């Protein structure tokens, strides 16, 4: 490192004061990204619940090779308890 580069770096550091605490904010862009992320997580959770209900209904109907479940059968009592 040369003396010139050290002086240039020192002059940049001295000319650029540290920001005040009130100057450091996330801003509206970060807020909308956060809101978008919350909405995305809510939609993914809603979709997951729908798909799990469909898979459970298909399993109960015997689609996956299991015997179909009839209403009031012993399997229903075991699942509820």
Burial class of residue 75 in the structure, from the number of CB atoms within 10 Å of its CB (0-12 exposed, 13-18 middle, 19+ buried): middle
Considering the entire predicted model, what is its pTM?
0.55
Kindly indicate the confidence band of residue 47, based on its pLDDT and cuts at 50, 70 and 90.
very high
Query: Is the confidence at residue 80, as pLDDT, over 80?
Result: no
- CA atoms in the 13 A half-sphere facing the CB of 41: 6
Q: What does DSSP assign to residue 69? A: P
User: Which tens digit of pLDDT belongs to each residue from 51-71?
Assistant: 999 999 999 988 888 888 876
- Give the pLDDT of residue 12: 73
CA angle centred on 56, ends 51 and 61, rounded to 5°: 125
- Give the pLDDT of residue 16: 67
Kindly indicate the confidence band of residue 81, based on its pLDDT and cuts at 50, 70 and 90.
very low
């Amino acid at each position: 490192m040369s003396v010139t580069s050290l002086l240039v770096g020192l002059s940049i550091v001295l000319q650029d004061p540290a920001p005040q605490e009130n100057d450091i904010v996330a801003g509206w862009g970060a807020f909308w990204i956060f809101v978008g992320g919350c909405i995305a997580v809510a939609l993914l959770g809603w979709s997951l619940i729908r798909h799990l209900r469909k898979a459970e209904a298909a399993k109960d109907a015997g689609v996956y090779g299991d015997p179909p479940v009839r209403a009031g059968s012993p399997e229903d009592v075991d699942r509820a308890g």
